[in-house]
Every structure is written in C-alpha cells, then in structure tokens.
Amino acid sequence: MTFMNNIRSATKEALDRTAIIAKFLCCLHFTANYLCSPTHAYGPSMLPTLNIAGDVVLVEHISPRIGKIGHGDLVLVRSPLNPNRNLTKRVVAMEGDTVTFFDASHSDSSRTAVVPKGHVWIQGDNIYASRDSRHFGPVPYGLIKGKVFLRVWPPSSFGLLDN
C-alpha cells in the first residue's frame, strides 16, 4: 500500500511541477509577443541614434495594436522585402502625408509620394546607408511589430530613446 501511495505522491508532484512550468512558459510567451521584448538592432542605417555594432533595445508591442504610432517614433518593422528580417527605422510620415525624397535610382532628382491609407513611411536616420521606404515604398501598418523605447545595452548608453 505504501508503494502505491509513493507512486501517487510522485505523480502528483510531477504534475504540479509541470503545471508551474507550463504557466511560466505561457506568461513568457504572452509577455514577449504582446507586451515587451528585447531585440538586437545593428547596422549603419540608424546612426547616430543606434550604434553600428548593435544595441539591445526594448520594444513594446501595445502601441501599434492601439494605433499609437506617430511621426518620429522608432519602430521595429517586419521587412517587406524579407519577412524573416526585422528592421529598426523611424516613422517619417503617416497615411495621407506627402513625402519628398531623393531618388537614388535617378541622380540629382527628387520624387514625391503620398502615403496611402493604412501605411507609414519609414526611413533610417543615416539616409546615406539605409534601405527603407525610399527603396520599397510605404510599409503597411500591419508590419509594425512594436515601438522601440529603451536602449539596455551597452550599459554606457542605457536610457530612453526619445523621438
């Protein structure tokens, strides 16, 4: 009889621990996908705001869901050219805005575009080394994954990223 009690006790303990782990993983999934998550932003396109070697930044995922993205915000966007890549860029124009930009494909010419409904115009802060809306056009609002708000690495640059 004690053998069966030991098995029941061990089974109950295993189930309890499994439930705790499952709850933790659910909480982690919810937090990372719907509240806030870290990401590594690197490359020359956001100089001088972000370092070329890379910064670890926090991205909050609530603002795009409730429509609180605006001019000047740093955003994490799923690349329209490669959906496996994320881009960190600045929102320059919202739907209905007119944008005039230098056209790299035609030397010494500028073009004008109107941002269509449901889209944003994004650009890197370093316009000479950035692939952005000037190359692939306005980005659908649905590709915005979140708003970048805090640099956490390197420690010497820790702090809020203002627009």
Residue 47 has pLDDT above 70, yes or no: yes
| Type of residue found at 76 | L
Selected residue with higher pLDDT from 8 and 88: 88
Q: Residue 156 carries which DSSP code?
A: G
Catalytic-residue membership of 68? no
Place of tokens 């806030």: 36
pLDDT of 105 reads 61
pLDDT of 88 reads 92
Burial class (CB in 10 A: 0-12, 13-18, 19+), 92: buried
Burial class (CB in 10 A: 0-12, 13-18, 19+), 69: middle
Residue 104 has pLDDT above 80, yes or no: no
Provide the percentage of residues in the chain whose pLDDT is more than 70.
95
CB under 8 Å to 93, separation ≥6 — which residues? 71, 99, 115, 120, 121
What six digits make up the tokens of 159?
Answer: 């702090």
Return the SS3 of 113: strand
| Identified catalytic residue from 9, 12, 45, 110 | 45
pLDDT in tens, 119-145: 999 999 888 888 888 888 899 999 999
Catalytic-residue membership of 145? no
What is the model's pTM? Answer: 0.79
Provide the percentage of residues in the chain whose pLDDT is more than 90.
41
Domain ranges of the chain: 38-160
Q: What are phi and psi of 108, to 5 degrees?
A: 55, 35
pLDDT of 109 reads 77
CA distances from 135 to 5, 61, 102, 139 (A): 69, 26, 10, 11
| Identified catalytic residue from 23, 68, 89, 109 | 89
Angle at 86 between CA 142 and CA 51, to 5 degrees: 130
Looking at CATH, the fold of the domain delimited by 38-160 is given as Umud Fragment, subunit A (2.10.109)
